[in-house]
Amino acid sequence: MSFEITRARPDDDMLVIGDLIFETDLLLFPFLLKPKHKAVPFWANMAKQVGNRFSYQRMWSARQSSQVVGILIGYDDKDISTLTDLWQFAKTCPKRDLLGLALRSSTLDLRLNSHHYPNSMYIQNICVHENFRRQGIATAMIQQFAAEAQLNKYAKVFLDVSIENPTAKKVYENQGFRVIKQKQLNFRGHNLGTYLMEKILSPQDQTKP
């Protein structure tokens, strides 16, 4: 079955997107806000808002028959404000869960892109629904994101992949990414460390048509 890659829209099914966001990191996100039935509406509300790292504005979606089956979240991180994220977290999170989330928020910022690489784009999250995997959807989203970065004259694309996810690491290596740094982050016995990977974009492709 064919699929298309488009920018996400505010009228997309945000609960589907919230579920996909949750599935992008089953180590970190259940730790931040659990159980899943509470976490999915939280991420759906974050995706519906504007200006934060999880907003639909920073999202590409894969669609089959108008159904969202995969997402990629990416951006130029110099445009991202951690304070804005925390304010929207606070506004979205149920008050009874707010203290726990605040205590964990520093872990989220360490796990996500916490420093800027000039003239680069950052892929924060990628997920394809389990019923639609092994169809090349993740690869197509990465290629679309990299192509748009090239058209906008960015030199590199970065991403983090869990040390515990060698399958995803291999997918990214096949797309031209290479490991440049290992980040160690352990919390309560969980290895939340990542490999920081980069893809250098071809100079000849970094001009607008």
Task: Tell me the pLDDT band of 208, cut-offs 50, 70 and 90.
Answer: very low
Say what the pLDDT of residue 142 is. Answer: 95
161 in helix, strand or coil? strand
Please tell me the total number of residues recorded for the chain in this structure.
209
Measure Cα distances from 135 to 69, 89, 130 in Å. 11, 34, 11
Say what the pLDDT of residue 112 is. Answer: 52
- What architecture does CATH give domain 4-205? 3-Layer(aba) Sandwich (3.40)
> Residue 56 pLDDT > 50, yes or no?
yes
Q: Give the residue ranges of DSSP H helices in the chain.
A: 14-23, 29-32, 36-48, 82-92, 95-111, 137-151, 166-174
128 in helix, strand or coil? strand
Say what the pLDDT of residue 33 is. Answer: 63
Average pLDDT over residues 62-70: 92
Average pLDDT over residues 92-117: 54
Say what the pLDDT of residue 209 is. Answer: 39
What is the per-residue burial (b if ≥16 Cβ within 10 Å, else e) of 176-188?
bbeeeeeeeeeee
| DSSP symbols for 26-79 | TTTHHHHS-SHHHHHHHHHHHHHSSSSTT-GGGEEEEEETTEEEEEEEEE-GGG
Average pLDDT over residues 66-83: 82
Q: How far apart are CA 206 and CA 201, in angstroms?
A: 8
pLDDT tens-digit profile of 9-34?
999 999 999 999 988 876 666 656 66
To the nearest whole number, what is the mean pLDDT of the chain?
Answer: 81
Q: Which of 86-90, 118-122, 178-182 has the lowest mean pLDDT?
A: 86-90
> Residue 49 pLDDT > 70, yes or no?
yes
% of the chain at pLDDT higher than 90 = 45
pLDDT tens-digit profile of 174-201?
999 999 998 876 665 666 688 999 999 9
DSSP code at position 3: -
CB atoms within 10 A of CB 123: 25
Task: Spell out the domain ranges in the chain.
Answer: 4-205
> Residue 125 pLDDT > 80, yes or no?
yes
Say what the pLDDT of residue 127 is. Answer: 93
Residue 113 C-beta-side C-alpha neighbours within 13 Å: 26
Q: How far apart are CA 175 and CA 6, in angstroms?
A: 20
> Residue 205 pLDDT > 50, yes or no?
no
Q: Which of 63-77, 92-106, 119-133, 158-172 has the lowest mean pLDDT?
A: 92-106
Q: How far apart are CA 127 and CA 130, in angstroms?
A: 9
Say what the pLDDT of residue 206 is. Answer: 46
